[in-house]
Amino acid sequence: MIELGRTQKLEIVKIVNIGVYLNSKLDNYNESILLPRKELRQEAFLGDEVEVFVYRDSKDRMIATTQTPKLVMGELSYLEVVETTKIGAFLDWGLPKDLFLPFKEQTCRVRQGKKYLVALYIDKSDRLCGTMDIYKYLKSDSTHKVDDKIQGIIYEIKDDMGAFVAVDKKYHGLIPKNELYGKHRCGDEIEARITKVREDGKLDLSLREKAYKQMEDDVTVILEKMNKWGGRLSLKDSSSPERIKGELNMSKRAFKRAVGRLLKEGKIKITDKGIEMIGKDEM
């Protein structure tokens, strides 16, 4: 059987001027497909087997190619958007005809020139299309452990939950909303730390280091912000978590830890209006 969207070995059953026709021995030679002559890598003979990828051309005809696509059925790939339209987008997947990503299969509005993690599926019209709804393609059997550093790609963001991440392009990961600091979008590549391996094997992630390591960066952020505002910062213990996150891109808990560190080192003092540098001119 000839399988759309997969690489397979097919037999040459007919040779013509424009190329060769291929079929599968398992298909009783019911329907043959063309491999254009320009795709042949060596002299062709009847009965030869050729490894090809099967897709549809610009006229929706099944056709074979010896080129290697960037995406096949059952896998995920990080593909670039080459064009956006009102009904969807087109992705570069390494073949002459770009891959269509329908609007309804986008987990966010995509942008030309940016890459997104997608899977391949066959639509109701028997055409190959891309989808960003890749949750069902991910696994929960990674060997990663707590505190491991991982590489991932954000494929969906939900305000009430956080950012869904494909860890190593294979495994389920989630950055909970309370750990999602900074501006992040679908398609972003991230480095994160595993904070929890759930019973079902899914991974909770954080974009921040462990507290004692992250504190160094947080202290630097606070001092740089104070320097920018004349040695003062109108944030304190009573400031809302939302305001602290908005101004410093850190949690209230992280802010209080960093402020405690700066107080202990004698670099700041607490005032009615917030915090203030001590000996700014010497720093």
DSSP summary character for residue 50 = E
Q: Tell me how crowded residue 222 is: count the other CB atoms within 10 A of its CB.
A: 24
* The pLDDT value given to residue 7: 95
- Which of 206, 240, 260 terminates a domain? The answer is 206
| Residue 70 within any structural domain of the chain | no
Do the Cβ atoms of 34 and 19 come closer than 8 Å?
yes
Q: Tell me how crowded residue 226 is: count the other CB atoms within 10 A of its CB.
A: 22
Q: State whether 218 and 233 are in the same domain.
A: yes
- Which of 44, 65, 86 terminates a domain? The answer is 65
For the record, the structure tokens of 96 come out as: 């002459």
109, burial (CB in 10 Å: exposed 0-12, middle 13-18, buried 19+): exposed
State the CATH number of the domain containing residue 278: 1.10.10.10
* The pLDDT value given to residue 282: 42
* The pLDDT value given to residue 281: 47
Q: Residue 41 CA to chain centroid, in angstroms?
A: 35
Q: State whether 128 and 142 are in the same domain.
A: no
| Residue 2 within any structural domain of the chain | no
Q: State whether 218 and 248 are in the same domain.
A: yes
Range of the domain at 226: 211-282
State the CATH number of the domain containing residue 112: 2.40.50.140
- Which of 87, 106, 135 terminates a domain? The answer is 135
What pTM was estimated for this model as a whole? 0.73
Q: State whether 189 and 165 are in the same domain.
A: yes
**Residue 276 half-sphere exposure, CB side, CA atoms within 13 Å?**
7
**Residue 79 half-sphere exposure, CB side, CA atoms within 13 Å?**
28
Helices 211-228 and 241-248, axial angle in degrees (round to 10): 70
Q: State whether 184 and 144 are in the same domain.
A: yes
Q: State whether 217 and 278 are in the same domain.
A: yes
| Residue 175 within any structural domain of the chain | yes
Q: 61-94 burial, b for 16+ CB within 10 Å, e for fewer?
A: eebbbeeebbbbeeebbebebeebeeebbbbebb
Q: State whether 277 and 219 are in the same domain.
A: yes
The pLDDT tens digits along the chain (283 residues) read 889 999 999 999 999 999 999 998 766 556 789 999 999 888 889 999 999 999 998 888 899 999 999 999 999 999 999 999 999 999 999 998 999 999 999 999 999 999 999 999 999 999 999 999 999 999 999 999 998 999 999 999 998 999 999 999 999 999 998 888 778 899 999 999 999 999 999 999 988 765 556 677 778 888 888 888 888 888 888 888 888 888 887 778 778 878 887 888 888 888 888 888 886 544 4
| Residue 71 within any structural domain of the chain | no
Domain total of the chain: 4
Q: State whether 110 and 128 are in the same domain.
A: yes
| Residue 228 within any structural domain of the chain | yes
| Residue 176 within any structural domain of the chain | yes
| Residue 1 within any structural domain of the chain | no
* The pLDDT value given to residue 24: 85
